[in-house]
A and B are shown apart, each in its own frame.
Chain A
Amino acid sequence: MEARQLTTFTVDGLLFGVEVHRVQEVIRCQEMTTVPLAVEGVAGLINLRGEVVTAIDMRTQLGLAPRADGEMPMNVVVRVDDESVSLLVDAIGDVANVTSEQFEEPPETMTGVAAALTLGAYKLDDRLLLALDVDRATSAVGVK
């Protein structure tokens, strides 16, 4: 039985988790510079203490409905191949302690892009926690 800690966040009502050691930091909504001609998932660029970080909107990436106007996303900054990438999510949750026994392959009910970007689900007491495949979620940008 393998224990893991996941940083959790919600995107359009779905609860996702990323392994704690992949997460560099969580910050509030930042001023964003849009990048014309960039692929759809790229929301823009933010200034993270002097470093230019690409922000990827998880809603677009997962093929979900866009955020309502005035709703501010949160930045979950993760490390991917020595680069910082920010995931734009709706809200931040707690750190969840899970074990491999709770793990299941992606549920059948999940379709399309969301399933492709999910490693599987942890069955929590009250709901399902989807384990996000960070590498694919950030590198599959452009695969529509």
Chain B
Amino acid sequence: MEDTDEIVREFLTESQENLDQLDRDLVALEADPSSSALLQSVFRTIHTIKGTSGFLGFGNLESLTHVGESLLAKMRDGSLTLTQERTTVLLELVDAIREILESIAVSGAEDACDRTALVRRISDLQVSEAPAGAAPGVADEAAETAATTQRIGEILEAHEVVDSTDVTVAVLEQQLGDDRPLGEILIAHGQATADQVADALAAQEAARGVASGAAPVHAAADASLRVDVNLLDTLMRLVGELVLTRNQIVATAASQAEPAMLRSSQRLNLLVSELQEGVMKTRMQPIDTIWSKLPRVVRDLGVTCGKEVRLVLEGRETELDKTILEAIKDPLTHAVRNAVDHGIESPDARRAAGKSPEGLLTLRAFHEGGQVNIEISDDGAGIDPAKIAAKALESGVVTAEQLRGMGPRDVINLIFEPGFSTAEAVTNVSGRGVGMDVVRTNIEKIGGTVDVVSEPGVRTSLRVKIPLTLAIIPALTVECAGERYAVPQVSLEELLCVEGERARTGVEYLSGAPVFRLRGNLLPLVWLDHVLDLTEGPHVDDAVYILVLQAESHRFGLVVDRVLNTEEIVVKPLSRQLKGVGTYAGATILGDGRVALILDVRALARRAHIVSEGDALGGPTAHGEESIRLDGPEPLLVVAVGERRVGVPLSMVTRLEDIPTSSVERVGQRELVQYRGNLLPLARLSHVLGVHSGGGDDKLKVIVYSQGQRSVGLIVDAVLDIATETPRSRGDANEHGVAGMAVVQERVTELLDMEQAIVAADPRFFSAVAASGAADVSGYETYAELGA
């Protein structure tokens, strides 16, 4: 049994890789249908999967791949050519194979999906028209011609039997309906002898043999092997320990002045550095590992939207840490989809604007300043700041007052605000306003930043900056109340030191909130010791040090006692006991061996906003979309999620349940529980809101919301109270999963975005309840994918 599992597992991993290759090959083949090497590769992959699945007894998979293979066989022998329709159906076949493989990976058996429709479509496409100029019966020779890179005419030309005019004439005759092979036409014209044609055919055959035998695509695989990531992590940790031991030995050896010892320690020093570098490299992968899926995405989307898009990938070899690659995969894909859907215009519109009908989408990756830069640029319609401003105003993302103070670039960046969408028509691709904010949230989660620039009518460019690795980041160390803290450089904009008179008068108070005038703009100030509830330490000198930090769309000044220096720090995770605190991104060990906490700038900002209520309050909450309206003071169920207080409209609470943790079942990424004879999909609010929560209890507190026959369960940490919000205390929030903020029982409470929470538990909830079209379903699913 063990052996079989091993074989199946191997089959799965291998097939996964092959399928990714298949996606790429098919898209490339569509662009260049004459490439027999690509066709061979596609055919071989499908054939391998068919063979192995037959051997392992996966009947559905075998029969599915069999029809695909038949279709491909006809293309390979030239009786069919690859049309867009055939590409589409083959790509669907790849998806179906993927689904089956996934099911095998999860449950060990094939899923029970009915795929007869797909099989029929593939079969139908096998019997339709033969390519022009090669009638089915006499296809042999002409087909050979089509399938190989070097055509028979070219070979004859190369053999100096005929000249190019003769061949052109013969090809024209073929196109005009002469269904004889090219060689026969040339013989009939008396331009070549039967022997010469036979020689050329033999040469062609030999060339094909070389092409199919070489299989250049998989050659690289032999030089590498698979390694368990856990093993790499262990190695990485060991090397870290080794580095510290090395430091001690080098220090001791230097003090002893024993020449032999000194030499050995220097050698050790060098070797350990090299080893460290090598081990770090093993975790790095080229960005191409995630980019390689994009040609397929762009192609499918282009076909759906009726747009012509050329995708150019630059800097495929740029390397990133594996963890980061995984984290940016979905946001990048979403950004690319957005560019095709919103950025690039339809071919007609492009022609009208005097551009080539084919849109150009360029992805560029490069290293710069210890960071990886990724640019996604399209030469489409660009973003019109005026339109964005109008839309943002309409959907309540900003107030007219806020808009007045914004430059065009700030306005364009409003597309990252939650609840923002400019698509005039909601498509199943994007346009639900749940896209770009999620892109930003995900990029920021790994310490990156995202920014958009645009020239209306010319181009739009999305710039993403991400750290090379999560393990080592550049940081600024500061001191506050006697302890040192590290602030990641990525969120640091500038450093201010205000001295003398200015230190006393520079800080002003705006309705109780301290602000600082920075080049004419008001910068809200936050004292680190205050945010961290520390007793104010004695200020060393009368200068005020302000770190200008950028968190999400907020910029604020963090006041610290002293600024020490910048250094590369190794990020160590915090233990379970401290994850609930939330204000720290981790810890690190400084040069002198002391531990320092790394500040989580986003969490600090959030905490500070809660402290200084003035910032959280103000504008009206009027989120666009179909978000559940929360007008008027309505009773709220106040719950605890991690450290946060969250309000849920009582009208959306059908029931509160205690569910034993042990009865929760997992299906893929989802959690479900059997509830009153039905399955109740669950979502953890801590995940929806992106906070750490203790968990670990043997009972889960669940808010059940039902509509019609469908129910979802939202897991919270504790139910605190039922209360009514203070009137007119509403404020906006930019957090994922939060619809706004309000003062409840004199405390700032976040209002849960019920729609997002429900969709996180059951992506089909609304579409099923409303029984609306398929567009709805996929729109929500796009969101759920990203939010996961």
A interface with B by C-beta (< 8 Å)? 31, 33-39, 41-42, 44-47, 49-54, 56, 80-81, 83, 85, 138-139, 141-142
Contacts and interface: CB of A to CB of B under 8 A. Distances in A.
A58 to B, nearest CB: 14
Given A45-B587, A51-B572, A36 B694 contact: no
A50 B238 CA distance: 10
A52 B574 contact: yes
Interface of B is mostly: mixed
A33 B577 contact: no
A139 B696 CA distance: 9
Nearest to B576: A83
Nearest to A85: B575
A89 to B, nearest CB: 17
A106 to B, nearest CB: 21
B578 to A, nearest CB: 6
B595 A38 contact: no
A50 B241 contact: yes
Contacts of A39: 577, 580-581
A142 B642 CA distance: 12
Given A47-B593, A52-B572, A52-B589, A35 B581 contact: yes
B577 A141 contact: yes
Interface string B500-533: 0000000000000000000000000000000011
Nearest to B593: A47
A35 B578 contact: yes
B694 A52 contact: no
Contacts of B244: 49-50
A49 B573 CA distance: 15
A54 B577 CA distance: 8
B581 A53 contact: no
A85 B577 contact: yes
B221 to A, nearest CB: 34
Of A31, A50, A139, most B-chain CB atoms within 10 Å = A50
Interface string B575-598: 111101101100111000111110
B240 A37 contact: no
Contacts of B483: 33-34, 36
Contacts of B533: 36-37
B534 interface: yes
Given A33-B483, A46-B595, A50-B589, A139 B578 contact: no
Interface in B232-272: 240-241, 243-244
A80 to B, nearest CB: 8
Contacts of B588: 52
26 contacts: A34-B483, A35-B581, A36-B483, A36-B534, A37-B532, A38-B578, A41-B577, A42-B577, A42-B578, A45-B587, A45-B595, A45-B597, A47-B589, A47-B595, A49-B241, A50-B241, A50-B243, A50-B244, A51-B572, A52-B572, A54-B578, A80-B576, A139-B696, A141-B577, A142-B577, A142-B694
Contacts of A38: 577-578, 581
A47 B594 contact: yes
Of B573, B578, B596, most A-chain CB atoms within 10 Å = B578
Given A33-B483, A35-B584, A38-B578, 18 more contacts: A31-B594, A36-B533, A36-B534, A37-B533, A39-B577, A42-B578, A45-B595, A46-B595, A49-B241, A50-B243, A50-B244, A52-B575, A52-B589, A56-B577, A80-B576, A83-B575, A83-B576, A139-B577
Contact of A35 (B241, B594, B597): B597
B536 to A, nearest CB: 13
B484 to A, nearest CB: 8
Interface in B692-723: 694, 696
A83 B575 CA distance: 7
A49 B587 CA distance: 14
A33 B576 contact: no
B574 A142 contact: no
Contacts of A37: 532-533, 581, 583
A131 to B, nearest CB: 21
A33 B578 CA distance: 13
A42 B584 CA distance: 15
Nearest to B528: A36
B535 to A, nearest CB: 10
A81 B589 CA distance: 23
Interface in B156-179: none
Contacts of A83: 575-576
A38 B588 CA distance: 17
A23 to B, nearest CB: 17
A100 to B, nearest CB: 26
Contacts of A42: 577-578
A31 B483 CA distance: 12
B581 A33 contact: no
Contact of B596 (A33, A54, A56): A33
B589 A138 contact: no
A85 B588 CA distance: 16
Contact of B577 (A46, A49, A138): A138
B72 to A, nearest CB: 49
B577 A50 contact: no
Nearest to B694: A142
A137 B672 CA distance: 31
Interface string B554-583: 000000000000000000111111101101
A37 to B, nearest CB: 5
A33 B595 contact: yes
Contacts of B587: 33, 45, 52
B303 to A, nearest CB: 48
A33 B575 contact: no
The 4 closest A-B pairs by CB, nearest first: A36-B532, A54-B575, A33-B595, A45-B595
Contacts of B597: 33, 35, 45
A75 B587 CA distance: 19
A35 B578 CA distance: 9
B575 A53 contact: yes
B610 to A, nearest CB: 13
Contacts of B575: 52-54, 83, 85
Nearest to B587: A52
A56 to B, nearest CB: 7
A52 B532 contact: no
A4 B576 CA distance: 29
Of A38, A42, A85, most B-chain CB atoms within 10 Å = A38
Contacts of B243: 50
Contact of A142 (B532, B580, B589, B594): B580
A54 B597 CA distance: 12
Contacts of A139: 576-577, 696
Contacts of B584: 35
A50 B596 contact: no
